[in-house]
Structure formats: C-alpha cells, structure tokens
C-alpha cells in the first residue's frame, strides 16, 4: 500500500506544466493518434549527454511511427556552452536548454528526462568526466530513470567502446547506459530506490551509429551491418501533413540558443542502430520483435484492448465524443489492473483522450502573473463541455486545501465561469528550478528532495483538480494555475503562475575590479513582490573591505516596481578578492536572492531565484598604454573587462579599419573567433600588420582551426591546431622567465595561474615561425606538453601576440592573474609610455 501511494504521489508530482501552458485544443486526427499510442504498450529510452545530442529523427520515428512511448534522457542540461540568443550563461543557460528540450519533445512527441549531472565544459576523456560527475551518483540517476520509465529498448547516441574520440560526456553517457542496462534489474544495486520504484530489465540495448563514427560515408557503406537494424526515418504521416524528418527538423530547431534553426529535411533517409546486448532481434524490420506490445502484455489487459482496438478501428473523426462511453468502460477496467506502472501510465493517457474527445475546456487563471507567500489571489475558472456526454463538475479541490462544491451539470457548449481564491501559505516554496535551489558541485546538482531527481522541471504547486463525473464515472483532471492575458500586437498569451518572494535584489555588476585603491560606487536594484514594501537594505562584505552607508531604507509603493540604491565600496590596500551580497530586511525576515526572468518566445516564461552576489577584486596591476581598439568576433566581454581595469576601449567595425583610425590606438585586440566569423577581416590584415610594424601591439585571441576566413593570421607563419588544455588547474610551466611579457610591468608568477575557471585555453597553434617566442607550456593529464598557448613576436617596432588562453572565460569571473597577464600583453614595448600616456602624444 505504501508503495502504491508513493507511486501515485510521484505521478501527481510529475504533472508537467508545459502541457497546460497553452491549453491544447487537439484536432480529431491528434485524438486518433493518441488512441493509436494508447494501444501500443512498449517504450524506448534514448540516452546521450547534452541538449542537442539527441537524434530527433529517431525519437520522432519511435514516437510517431512505431507509436512507442519514447523519452530522451539527457544526462546534463547543457550549462557549459555558449548562448547565441541572449546573455544567459551557465546555470541560466541550463534553464533555457531544459525548456528548449521540452519544446523539442512537444514537437516530436517524446518525453524528457535528466540526471543531476552538470555540464562542466569540454572533457577529453570519459575517465575525467566520470570522476567529476561522481560516477556512482550519475549512474544511480540513470538506473532510476530506467526503473521509473521501464523502457523495453534503450538506444545510446554514442559508442561506449571508443573513449577519447569525442567529448568525454558523450562516451561517458554511453558507458553509464551500458552499465545501467544490467544494474536496473539488480535488487542489490541502488536498493534505496526500491522504496519508490521497482527493478526493471530492459530487453535490448542499441547504439545509434552512422557514418560519423566510421571516419567516412564510404567506410560506413562498406561496414558489416549484420548486427544493425535500419529504418526509413523519412516516412510521411498523412494525418500530420508532415514527414518524420520534417518533424525532426522542427524539433531540433527548438535549440535556438545553440543556433540550431535549420532547413527542414524530407524524403527517404536511413537511420541505423547497432545491437549491443539483451534479447536478439528476431525480425530485423521491427525493433520490438518478440516483445508483446499489445494489451495482452498485462494481466487483465485483454478486455481493455478489445474495447480500445475497436475504437481505433472505427474511429469517428467527425464526432470523437461518441466513443466516450466505451472509453469509460476501458477506464474502469484499467483501474482494476494490478500492474501499477501500466495502470498509471495508461490512465494518464486515457484521461487525456476522454478530455479531448469531450472537447473539455478546463482552466484556472490567476488575476496576476505572480504572488507572494501569505497572500490570496483571485482565480477565474472556466469549465466547458463541448459534447453531448453527461458531464457534471462535482467539485474542485485546490492544492491549498480549499474545496469548491459545485454539482454543476456542464451542458453542451454552455460555458460555466466562476471565481475562487487561492491561498499561498507562509512557507510555500518559490517558483524556481529545483536543481538550482542548493549550491551544487562542479559535476553535480544538489537535489535534496529525492522525488524530484530526473524531473525536467519543478512541479507546479498551485493546481486545481476538477472532479468530474462523466456518464457517472468519476474522473479528476488536474490543471495548474495559469495567467492568461492578451497583448494588442500578440493576441492571447499564457504564462505560468509564479510564487515569488516579497522582495529580491541584485547588484548590477557581477564582477567589480578595483585596479587601484580608489573607491567604487555600486548599484543595488531592489524589487517589490507586493505593494507597499518597506524595509532596509545592507551589503555584506569581507572584513577588510568597507561599504557605506551601512544601511538604507527600502520603500516601494507598487508590486513589480524597483528602487535603485547606491553604496560605496572601498577596497583594501593590497591585492585581494571576495564576495559582496545584499541583504534586504522586511519585518523580521531577510532576503538574499536575485530574481532572474527568462523571457523568450519559443519557450515558456521562467523565473529563477539565485543567491545574489558579486565578486570584488582588488588587483595589484600596472599597465602601459591606454587606448585599445577592439574588433569583436563571436562575442565576449573582454572590452568591458579591460575598461574595468582602466583602459579606454573602442569597439571598431572591421570596415572602419584604416591606417588613420588605428593610429589613435596603442593596441588592437581581436575578439574570439573573429577570423572564423568576419569575412571582411582578410582584406584588413595588411593594415593591421602595418599598424604593428609602426609600433602598435596586436593581440589575437583564439580561433578554431576549421573554417578560417584567411590563411594569413599573423605577419609570420602560424598554424592552428585542435590542441587544448581543458583542465583549468593544469600546471603552467614558464618557458622564458626573463621575457618582458612575464616581468613588465607586472611580475607574473605561478600565483597568477591559480583560480582559473573551466579551462586553460583552446585551439593552440602547433607550428610557428621562429620569430615567435612561446612563453608558456602546459598539458592535460597523459598528454604531451603544449607550447602554443601564448606566442609573441616582434614585428617592426611593435608586437604581435597570438593566444589561445581563455581570457574571455577568466575575465567575467574576475580572475586576477588573467588581468595581470593581459595588461603585460598590452604593455609590451610600451615602457617608454608612462601609464595613461597616449602613443601619439
């Protein structure tokens, strides 16, 4: 009994909000397809490491053609990458990518699962990946996903047998899947999970291979395929008016923050999966061959199957509601099934089908998009039956404990509208991604509530349960509270209803650099979660730093309004760093979090609460030269960072690069991947080299070695490689300790290479003209020394520097050594200039 209640609890907790984001109004073709899926009792779990790894062609094929329940288990949420659509990085990028995966699944018909693994950045080898991921923990989550989802078929995106040939996360995902395939059925493995779930043995494991894994298409064509199954994933679905691969293209085009918007593909295409282990396939055209995927699969399922198969055979596209009496018979039989897993899953599907067939419209919409604990919010309720079936709204049970007794007969197409209130209790949880509530480690999120592990998003806490009697059969349909509104230029819109704190605060700058002992003014933005907010704000700071005033009054009249406060920060005399964070006192409560809103059209609106803090860095830094021209590449915050340490930085358009414009600057810095992204730059190289010849400095940051727009990167020969050092703590050896780059004006020591983040650098050159001096040497574990991370050459009167060091990652984290080294790069050859003196003065 205990197990059963827990299972139901999980079922209710997993209610995915997105299904209710904009109420579905499915056409009868979709209802028919849902019935086809209802009558298929088989499932596929696709496993890989990141958002965008998943093969949407295969997921869509399994879901829409085979009709299997299909899910994608992405071990991470993709926090480590770059964002092409906005400023969010790291955990906030993970929030966007989570939602993009959910958006992709809404298109291809799959479900979405995760583990607690964190995308900590590029990893060369699965050994490193699994160490940082705390292997047993992530393995435990993969086993849990298998035990809860109970897949018949598991398909890995990557090959578990080829470590070191791709991202360590990729191979790692396949290795964990390979191991979990057997462990899921082992009672002694992760036995604590068996309190809420049961063991499960998947039937078959495959690897989704293709020519990429075989060096070339030619090699793949020649490869022995006797152990492979293949499918035409270009099949056309007349009920949808789309081909499978068109659906897949639309699904993967949801990954917009990764620049995955793409043209649709259609027409016949082959996809291969290689059998790895489990029961061998008896019929190579059917991945489920030998597995009973009919209702006969479960005890007592026969009678249910008879009813539901008859509905599928004789489906009435003009009036699906006529099937409701038979669907209800099946529903009642289903409630007597012993197998909890199938009972829960098929009940969920069947209820949705009954709701769709009746054209039911049930909605609980709050009068405001958000509210705070200890308040009540007005809810507008709409209940509409668009069928001739006898449907009574008996009551509504709200998750705040309130029950509305109604006994309302819902007449065909006669909308019932009424109001309720929803009380948000004092200790109610705020709406925020559950995996970000506690600080995690480099490799793992911390999730205290074990019931949430694996869930794509935080279950909504404000839910209205509509207790109906449909032809006398009691059925409860749950709807999370939404906020419905309209905008004149957009039409009707929906947003999730959010529970937010009564106040939140943020310091506008995340990293504040003090390049001398002068004080800085910081801006604190305090936001009100309700009207008439009164309290006080102060800034927590390290002991040897000073902040004044100590406290300021907070007084905000309207909900949503912000108050801007300024504080003055005085750094200590010597080099130092630490964190400052705001505390807002309201009555006897204190608030320390920042409320971040993520608002893009392709995903639902999100709020994220994160600890509000900013890093303060007092640098011991000297510099020569002052005026910097910046040529932006793929985007980085290097210009802002250099301004923070007192440089005058002008971002110049590549078209504007002329001898005259450059003559005003001491140095030109080229942004990351500029030679991969800016066509025009190849025509400007000579002007830039001439600038160096006449005494300017030119610093070029990393470019990838593929897709360079010019072969003429430097005034001397230089070739890029894929050499990278991903371990941010890799030892740095100084090759030429006397070189001015390491001595003037700042003395660079090992200490300057401490506290780096994510990596040392990437795409280092591996061949260079003897005019270049390599300055540093470093390497990842078990690799040879890489000496191309920082190369400097005198050219005429100036210096050309090429560096693959990840300054673009270190600056935003306030890494002192990175600033000091970069200041030396800008200063080299400029000793004759006093600080703050211009070249052409």
Interacting residues with Zn ion (CB under 5 A): 50, 53
Q: How far is the CB of 129 from Zn ion (least distance, A)?
A: 12
d(CA 95, CA 437): 13
Q: How far is the CB of 68 from Zn ion (least distance, A)?
A: 24
Cβ burial, residue 485 (10 Å; 0-12/13-18/19+) = middle
Output 752 or 759, the one with its CB closest to Zn ion: 759
d(CA 641, CA 826): 14
d(CA 618, CA 546): 12
DSSP 93-136: HHHHHHHHHHHHHHHH--EEEE-SB---S--S-HHHHHHHTTHH
Q: How far is the CB of 126 from Zn ion (least distance, A)?
A: 13
Output 83 or 375, the one with its CB closest to Zn ion: 83
Output 53 or 723, the one with its CB closest to Zn ion: 53
668 CA to centre of own chain = 35
d(CA 210, CA 530): 55
Pick left, alpha or beta for residue 192 (phi over 0 → left; psi -120 to 50 → alpha; otherwise beta).
Answer: alpha
Output 91 or 148, the one with its CB closest to Zn ion: 91
Q: What angle do CA 101, 672, 128 make, to 5 degrees?
A: 55
Q: At what angle do helices 301-313 and 324-334 cross, to 10 degrees?
A: 160
Residue 727, Cβ neighbours under 10 Å: how many? 19
For residue 483, the surrounding DSSP H or E stretch is strand 482-487
- Hey, is 504 helix, strand or coil? strand
Name the nearest CA neighbour of 36 among 62, 71, 58, 67: 67
Output 172 or 320, the one with its CB closest to Zn ion: 172
Q: How far is the CB of 167 from Zn ion (least distance, A)?
A: 6
Q: How far is the CB of 75 from Zn ion (least distance, A)?
A: 10
Output 99 or 171, the one with its CB closest to Zn ion: 171
Q: How far is the CB of 705 from Zn ion (least distance, A)?
A: 20
Q: How far is the CB of 53 from Zn ion (least distance, A)?
A: 4
Phi and psi at 604, nearest 5°, equal -65, 150
Q: What angle do CA 474, 477, 482 make, to 5 degrees?
A: 155
Output 99 or 816, the one with its CB closest to Zn ion: 99
Q: How far is the CB of 62 from Zn ion (least distance, A)?
A: 20
Check the CA dihedral 120-126-130-131 and report its sign.
negative
Determine contact, residues 790/760, Cβ cutoff 8 Å: no
- Hey, is 624 helix, strand or coil? coil
C-beta contacts of 377-381 below 8 A and 24+ residues apart: 377/421, 377/422, 377/424, 377/497, 378/419, 378/420, 378/421, 379/419, 379/420, 379/421, 379/422, 379/464, 379/481, 380/417, 380/419, 381/416, 381/417, 381/418, 381/419, 381/420, 381/464
Output 53 or 108, the one with its CB closest to Zn ion: 53
Pick left, alpha or beta for residue 336 (phi over 0 → left; psi -120 to 50 → alpha; otherwise beta).
Answer: alpha
Strands 204-207 and 667-670: unpaired
Output 58 or 775, the one with its CB closest to Zn ion: 58
Strands 498-499 and 491-496: unpaired
Name the DSSP letter for residue 436.
G
Q: How far is the CB of 706 from Zn ion (least distance, A)?
A: 18
Question: What are the residues whose beta carbons fall under 8 Å from the beta carbon of 7, sequence distance 6 or more?
Answer: 196, 340, 344
What are 485's strand-pairing partners?
493
Widest Cα–Cα separation across the chain? 93
Output 169 or 786, the one with its CB closest to Zn ion: 169
Q: How far is the CB of 248 from Zn ion (least distance, A)?
A: 17
Q: How far is the CB of 49 from Zn ion (least distance, A)?
A: 5
Strands 798-803 and 697-700: parallel
Strands 648-651 and 593-598: unpaired
Question: What are the residues whose beta carbons fall under 8 Å from the beta carbon of 822, sequence distance 6 or more?
Answer: 642, 699, 807, 811
d(CA 543, CA 836): 32
Q: How far is the CB of 217 from Zn ion (least distance, A)?
A: 22
Name the nearest CA neighbour of 761 among 687, 706, 704: 704
For residue 421, the surrounding DSSP H or E stretch is strand 416-424
Output 53 or 88, the one with its CB closest to Zn ion: 53
Output 53 or 128, the one with its CB closest to Zn ion: 53
Output 53 or 246, the one with its CB closest to Zn ion: 53
Determine contact, residues 755/816, Cβ cutoff 8 Å: yes
Q: How far is the CB of 633 from Zn ion (least distance, A)?
A: 23
Output 50 or 618, the one with its CB closest to Zn ion: 50
Q: How far is the CB of 783 from Zn ion (least distance, A)?
A: 22
Q: How far is the CB of 119 from Zn ion (least distance, A)?
A: 9
Output 53 or 148, the one with its CB closest to Zn ion: 53
- Hey, is 476 helix, strand or coil? strand
Phi and psi at 757, nearest 5°, equal -120, 150
Q: How far is the CB of 82 from Zn ion (least distance, A)?
A: 13
Q: How far is the CB of 118 from Zn ion (least distance, A)?
A: 14
Output 129 or 467, the one with its CB closest to Zn ion: 129
Is-cis flag, bond preceding 549, omega within 30? Answer: yes
| Helix, strand, coil percentages in the chain from 3-state DSSP, rounded to 5 | 30, 30, 45
24 CA to centre of own chain = 25
Q: How far is the CB of 780 from Zn ion (least distance, A)?
A: 19
Tell me which residue has its CB nearest to Zn ion.
Answer: 50
Output 115 or 458, the one with its CB closest to Zn ion: 115
Name the DSSP letter for residue 747.
-
Output 53 or 626, the one with its CB closest to Zn ion: 53
């Amino acid at each position: 009994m205990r197990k059963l209640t827990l299972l139901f609890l999980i079922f209710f907790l997993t209610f995915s909000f997105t299904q209710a984001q904009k109420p579905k109004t499915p056409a009868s073709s979709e209802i028919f397809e849902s019935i086809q899926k209802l009558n298929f009792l088989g499932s596929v779990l696709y496993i890989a490491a990141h958002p965008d790894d998943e093969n949407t062609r295969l997921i869509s094929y399994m879901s829409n053609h085979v009709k299997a329940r299909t899910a994608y288990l992405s071990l991470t949420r993709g926090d480590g990458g770059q964002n092409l659509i906005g400023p969010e990085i790291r955990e906030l990028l993970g929030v966007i990518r989570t939602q993009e995966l959910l958006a992709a699944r809404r298109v291809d018909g799959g479900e979405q699962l995760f583990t607690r693994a964190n995308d900590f950045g590029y990893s060369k080898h699965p050994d490193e990946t699994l160490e940082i991921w705390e292997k047993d923990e992530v393995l435990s989550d993969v086993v849990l996903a298998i035990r809860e989802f109970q897949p018949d078929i598991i398909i890995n995106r990557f090959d578990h047998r080829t470590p070191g040939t791709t991202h360590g996360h990729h191979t790692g995902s396949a290795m964990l899947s390979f191991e979990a395939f057997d462990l899921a059925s082992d009672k002694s493995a992760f036995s604590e999970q068996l309190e809420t779930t049961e063991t499960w043995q998947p039937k078959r494991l495959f690897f989704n291979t293709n020519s990429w894994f075989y060096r070339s298409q030619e090699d793949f064509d020649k490869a022995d395929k006797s152990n492979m199954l293949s499918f035409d994933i270009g099949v056309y679905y007349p009920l949808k008016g789309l081909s499978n691969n068109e659906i897949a293209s639309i699904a993967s085009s949801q990954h917009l923050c990764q620049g995955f918007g793409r043209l649709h593909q259609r027409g016949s295409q082959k996809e291969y999966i290689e059998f790895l282990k489990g029961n061998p396939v008896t019929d190579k055209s059917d991945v489920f061959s030998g597995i009973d995927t009919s209702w006969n699969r479960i005890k007592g399922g026969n009678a249910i199957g008879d009813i539901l198969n008859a509905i599928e055979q004789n489906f009435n596209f003009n009036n699906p509601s006529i099937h409701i009496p038979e669907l209800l018979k099946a529903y009642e039989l289903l409630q007597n099934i012993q197998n909890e897993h199938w009972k829960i899953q098929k009940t969920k599907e069947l209820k949705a089908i009954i709701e769709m067939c009746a054209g039911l419209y049930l909605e609980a919409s709050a009068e405001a998009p958000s509210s705070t604990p200890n308040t009540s919010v007005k809810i507008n309720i709409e209940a509409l039956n668009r069928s001739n079936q006898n449907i009574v709204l008996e009551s509504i049970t709200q998750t705040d404990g309130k029950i509305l007794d109604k006994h309302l007969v819902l007449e065909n197409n006669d909308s019932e509208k009424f109001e309720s209130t929803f009380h948000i209790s004092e200790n109610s949880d705020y709406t925020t991604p559950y995996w970000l509530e506690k600080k995690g480690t480099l490799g793992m999120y911390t999730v205290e509530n074990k019931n949430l592990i694996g869930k794509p998003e935080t279950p909504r806490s404000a839910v209205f349960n509509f207790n109906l009697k449909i032809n006398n059969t009691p059925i409860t349909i749950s709807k999370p509270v939404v906020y419905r509104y309209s905008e004149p230029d957009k039409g009707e819109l929906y947003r999730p209803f959010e529970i937010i704190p009564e106040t939140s605060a943020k310091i506008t700058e995340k990293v504040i650099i003090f390049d001398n002992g002068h004080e800085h003014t910081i801006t604190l933005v305090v936001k009100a979660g309700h009207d008439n907010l009164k309290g006080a704000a102060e800034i927590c700071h390290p002991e040897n730093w000073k902040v004044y005033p100590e406290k300021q009054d907070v007084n905000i009249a309207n909900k949503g309004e912000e108050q801007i406060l300024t504080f003055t920060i005085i750094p200590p005399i010597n080099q130092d760093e630490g964190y400052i964070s705001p505390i807002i006192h309201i009555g006897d409560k204190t608030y320390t979090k920042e409320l971040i809103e993520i608002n893009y059209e392709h995903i639902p609106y999100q709020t994220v609460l994160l600890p509000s803090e900013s890093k303060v860095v007092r640098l011991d830094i000297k510099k020569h030269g002052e005026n910097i021209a910046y040529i932006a590449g793929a985007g980085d915050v290097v210009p802002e960072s250099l301004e923070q340490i007192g440089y005058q930085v002008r971002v110049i358009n590549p078209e504007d690069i002329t001898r005259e414009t450059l003559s005003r600057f001491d140095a030109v810095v080229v942004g990351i991947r500029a030679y991969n992204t800016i066509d025009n730059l190849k025509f400007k190289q000579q002007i830039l080299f001439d600038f160096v010849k006449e005494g300017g400095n030119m610093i070029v940051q990393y470019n990838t070695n593929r897709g360079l727009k010019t072969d003429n990167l430097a005034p001397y020969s230089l070739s890029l490689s894929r050499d990278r050092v991903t371990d941010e703590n890799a030892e740095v050896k100084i090759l030429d300790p006397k070189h001015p780059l390491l001595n003037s004006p700042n003395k660079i020591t090992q200490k300057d290479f401490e506290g780096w983040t994510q990596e040392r650098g990437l795409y280092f050159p591996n061949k260079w003209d003897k005019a270049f001096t390599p300055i540093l040497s470093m390497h990842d574990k078990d690799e040879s020394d890489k000496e191309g991370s920082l190369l400097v050459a005198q050219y005429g009167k100036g210096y050309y520097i090429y560096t693959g060091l990840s300054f673009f990652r270190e600056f935003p984290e306030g890494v002192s050594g990175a600033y000091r080294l970069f200041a030396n790069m800008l200063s080299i050859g400029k000793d004759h200039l006093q600080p703050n003196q211009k070249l052409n003065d």
